[in-house]
Amino acid sequence: MAEIVSLGEAIAATVHDGDTVAMEGFTHLIPHAAGHEVIRQRRRDLTLVRMTPDIIYDQMIGAGCASKLVFSWAGNPGVGSLHRFRDAFEHAWPTKLEIEEHSHAGMANRYAAGASGLPFALMRGYRGTSLASQTVGVAEVTCPFTGEILTAVAALRPDVAVIHAQRADRLGNVQYWGITGVQKECVLAAARSVITVEEIVDVLDPRPGAVVLPSWAISYVAAAPGGAHPSYALGYSVRDNDFYLAWDAVSRDRTAFTAWLDKYVYGAGDAPFPDSYLDPGDRVAP
Amino acid sequence: MTYTPDEMMTVAAARALRDGMTCFVGIGLPSEAANLARATHAPNLVLIYESGTIGARPGALPLSIGDGILAETAESVVSVPEIFNYWLQPGRIDVGFLGAAQLDKLNNINTTVIGPDYCVPRVRLPGAGGTPEIAAACREVIVVLRHSLRAFVEQVDFVTSVGFGEGPGSRERLGLAGAGPRRIITDLGVLQPDPDTCEFVLTGIYPGTSIADVAGKTGWDLQISADLRVLPPPSEFELAALRGLLAGTVR
């Protein structure tokens, strides 16, 4: 059964230095509050896994949490580069960052293999690309029935999965809807899991298209209202596109980034998202 | 009515989509053009985004492939493994509509690194995302990007997504299901593959651009089609629809 605890307790119980940590949410439901908590607990040497690293991993990489990134698309969606990621990869600031990259379909299948208890997943992909020779965990296999050459991708089995969801009930059953991404596969592939939620309710009303993860398949649930910001939780918040645009300037400069981190992450104490952070006039400026 | 080269490009790209097609849409220029097509001549175009939104009908342009407006207006929202495995991989989607940072004359696409050394790149780009499998599996592929010597190169530094690979027969040998790239649409004109060599040749230019303009921004020895056409300028209807869409980009 999932334990319902504070976000600080959930991260302290699950994320240790050197762990492989996958924080998922495909544009929607990105667990930013949990990312900030990992930064505040000053975890180091993490292998961070995520299809689209975007701002959440830009912050964690810039804060020095990661020594390796496993990913398939590292950009600020609709805006441009991830400057903290590039600074770490290209200039080892604040620390050296190793990379392992895949395609989206490859990563999705690797999580699905992990969730299925299989050593690899089968797909059509990577053939003829330079990726196939530059990455690891990709191999050609021959179909035993047709003789066709297909691609095998190695399972992902993170130590910890972290996702954000709309709701949980008091038993720790979790429900989320809208763009559901790869979160179910991520949680089921991982040894431990933390799910932050917008709210904890008495009863989970059935909703069309919603995914429900039963309490017994989850390690920890923590309330983190607004915890997806600047991503969003459908039905609770909207994507803060201005923040994504403004992040470009903040993240471009080491000093501006460090000041931002001091004010909004280290300075935030137990409250992951102080009112001022959500104030449209003061979202980014340090 | 005056218009910019970018507007001409987006209108030309929108015209390449037929009503009723299913279209796997990349973010940025492809998404602009696909939504313009839906707002003009192709109201029944089925937009599919890699976030798992099938049949999205956004009233304003999304900034990302996962904006709420896509999920809220979609016919169906599926998981990311499902969109790639069940919908894209079997080859049931008509057209993949992609952007590119760099491409070569066989339309192999690079969105990974600029420079010869993968480990120490001159420029680190975002990476593959969904494009390798979109380029492999859609029945055909259309690429939209601005023309420049930096983008149009003799040989890409890194093959993120396969166009015609090493030439005729490459796609078949690699087992790629789709027919491959059919068109490159830029702010200067339209390129299409020569049926024998698979090399992209100039088949269309816009009013006011010259062959020399295009050749001067192409990094390979650009061949000109014997059937080169001057494509019609944007209509007032198309321009008004495009400007309306851009003014309403979700912020």
Q: Is the dihedral of CA A152, A138, B112, A257 positive or negative?
A: positive
Instruction: Say whether both A93 and A115 belong to one domain.
Output: no
Label residue B248 by pLDDT band (50, 70, 90). Answer: confident
B67 pLDDT more than 90? no
Instruction: Say whether both A129 and A270 belong to one domain.
Output: no
Residue holding tokens 């903290």? Answer: A84
Instruction: Say whether both A272 and A243 belong to one domain.
Output: yes
Residue from A24, A103, A88 nearest B126 by CA: A103
Residue from A230, A172, A187, A175 nearest A30 by CA: A230
- Length of chain B (residues): 251
Instruction: Say whether both A119 and A82 belong to one domain.
Output: no
Q: What is the pLDDT of residue B89?
A: 97
CB contact under 8 A, B159 and A128: yes
**How many A/B residue pairs have CB atoms within 8 Å?**
167
- Length of chain A (residues): 286
Residues of A in contact with B180 (CB under 8 A): none
Residues of chain A below pLDDT 50: 274-286
Helical (H) or strand (E) element with A127: none
Average pLDDT over residues B63-79: 88
Residue from B153, B172, B149, B147 nearest B162 by CA: B172
Instruction: Say whether both A49 and A141 belong to one domain.
Output: no
State ipTM: 0.95
- Chain-centre distance for alpha carbon B88: 16
Instruction: Say whether both A195 and A261 belong to one domain.
Output: yes
Catalytic, out of B50, B133, B199, B238: B50
Q: What is the pLDDT of residue A77?
A: 87
Phi, psi (deg, nearest 5) at residue B24: -85, 115
Label residue B60 by pLDDT band (50, 70, 90). Answer: confident
Pair of tokens at residue A248: 């470009």
- What's the rounded Cα separation, in Å, for the pair A52 and A76? 9
Pair of tokens at residue A201: 């309710």
- Structural domains in chain B, CATH included, are 5-247 (3.40.1080.10)
Q: What is the pLDDT of residue B69?
A: 85
| Cis peptide bond upstream of A94, omega within 30 | yes
Residues of B in contact with A51 (CB under 8 A): 80
Q: What is the pLDDT of residue B66?
A: 81
Q: What is the pLDDT of residue B181?
A: 98
Instruction: Say whether both A270 and A165 belong to one domain.
Output: yes
Helical (H) or strand (E) element with B162: none
- What's the rounded Cα separation, in Å, for the pair A258 and B248? 34
CATH code for the domain in which residue A73 is found = 3.40.1080.10
Instruction: Say whether both A139 and A203 belong to one domain.
Output: no
Q: Which of A97, A138, A156, A239 to mutate to test the interface with B (most CBs of B within 10 A)?
A: A239
B228 pLDDT more than 90? yes
The answer for residues whose C-beta is within 8 angstroms of residue B104's C-beta and 6 or more apart is B152, B153, B154, B155, B156, B163, B220
CA-based end-to-end distance of chain A = 41
- What's the rounded Cα separation, in Å, for the pair B116 and A185? 36
Q: Is the dihedral of CA A184, A188, A191, A194 positive or negative?
A: positive
Q: Does residue A2 sit in helix, strand or coil?
A: coil
What one-letter code names the amino acid at A88? Answer: A
- What's the rounded Cα separation, in Å, for the pair B76 and B92? 16
Among A72, A178, A185, select the one facing B81 at the smallest CB separation: A185
CB contact under 8 A, B129 and A104: yes
The answer for residues whose C-beta is within 8 angstroms of residue B109's C-beta and 6 or more apart is B98, B100, B101, B102, B103, B131, B135, B143, B156, B159, B160, B161, B163
Q: Is the dihedral of CA B230, B234, B236, B237 positive or negative?
A: positive
pLDDT in tens, A79-130: 899 999 999 999 999 999 999 999 999 999 999 999 999 999 999 999 999 9
Strands B53-54 and B109-110: unpaired
pLDDT in tens, B139-177: 999 999 999 999 999 999 999 999 999 999 999 999 999
Instruction: Say whether both A140 and A75 belong to one domain.
Output: no
Using CA coordinates, name the residue in chain A closest to B89.
A124
Instruction: Say whether both A97 and A108 belong to one domain.
Output: no
How open is the CA angle A166-A172-A175, to the nearest 5 degrees?
30
Say which DSSP state A266 is in.
G
- What's the rounded Cα separation, in Å, for the pair A40 and A37? 5
pLDDT in tens, B87-127: 999 999 999 999 999 999 999 999 999 999 999 999 999 99
Q: What is the pLDDT of residue A28?
A: 95
The answer for residues whose C-beta is within 8 angstroms of residue A141's C-beta and 6 or more apart is A122, A149, A150, A151, A152
Among B64, B80, B251, select the one facing A181 at the smallest CB separation: B80
Instruction: Say whether both A27 and A134 belong to one domain.
Output: no
Domain enclosing residue A133, as ranges: 104-154
B136 pLDDT more than 70? yes
Helices (H) and strands (E) in chain A, counts: 10, 13
What one-letter code names the amino acid at A270? Answer: D
Strands B46-48 and B22-25: parallel
Residues of B in contact with A179 (CB under 8 A): 51-53, 66, 70-71, 77
Q: For chain B, what is the mean pLDDT?
A: 95
Q: Is the dihedral of CA A11, A12, A14, A16 positive or negative?
A: positive
Q: What is the pLDDT of residue A268?
A: 74
User: For chain A, what is the domain count?
Assistant: 2
pTM for the model: 0.95
Residues of B in contact with A28 (CB under 8 A): 51, 66, 68, 71
Residue holding tokens 């208890």? Answer: A117
The answer for residues whose C-beta is within 8 angstroms of residue B186's C-beta and 6 or more apart is B9, B144, B145, B146, B147, B214
Instruction: Say whether both A87 and A127 belong to one domain.
Output: no
Helical (H) or strand (E) element with A6: none
